[in-house]
Amino acid sequence: MLDLAFLKILGIPLTWWLWWHVRDPKLAWWLPVGLQLSLALVAEPLALWLMFKDLPNHTIYNLYMILEFGALSWLVMNVPRPSKQGRTLAKGGALLFLISLIWQISASELNVFFHTSLMVGGSLLAFQAILALHRLAEEQPVNWRSPELWILASMVLYFLSATPVLAAVMYFTGSDLSLALFLLDLNDGLFVARYALVALGLAMTRISTPP
């Protein structure tokens, strides 16, 4: 698990570096992708450091989850271009996510991981990313060098897969620790695959852009 965790930590700055070298704020996805990567660049190493120190990292992950949901909602609202459907879905998703957060906070203490909100938020983001992919396919023929394609695909892959995996982790933590640890390892693998797709999309931007 630690090997994948370190690979995850190494992959984030590499992806951020690729994003920075694209550096085109006119692209609808550039700012929200950069915001999400910057959040991950701070939160993931800090959470791993706290884990090694045997200190709780729930607060870091809870705050990261909330901010990441906002950044990715901004992304799917504007890709492939700002649309009424994207705005409506983003607002509806934000409302449902807020309700799940309020319920989670009222039903538990603040020093626990907000797993219910994570599952709700992940499901909403996956659904919105699928619809954004559909809008992208309607607007243009499939272009494998399109960064939007790979960025949205990374969201679908991760949130559709990791949401049930993390739900299973929470379920098995109290009854089968070895299985829970295996599932956490699987989640780290999905995380690495997610950022690999984002990095691929950013690299495609560099390839497609004339010197």
Confidence (pLDDT) at 207: 64
- Are 97 and 120 spatial neighbours (Cβ–Cβ below 8 Å)? yes
CATH 1.20.1070 for domain 2-208: yes
pLDDT of residue 198: 97
The pTM of this model reads: 0.90
Q: Domain map of the chain by residue range?
A: 2-208
Q: Which amino acid is at 90?
A: A
User: One digit per residue, pLDDT tens: the chain, 211 residues?
Assistant: 557 778 888 999 999 999 999 888 888 899 999 999 999 999 999 998 998 898 888 889 999 999 999 999 999 999 888 888 889 989 999 999 999 999 888 877 666 778 888 899 999 999 999 999 999 988 878 788 889 999 999 999 999 998 889 888 888 887 888 888 888 889 889 999 999 999 999 998 866 554 4
120 touches 100 (CB < 8 A): yes
Report cis status (omega within 30 of 0) of the bond before 45.
Answer: no
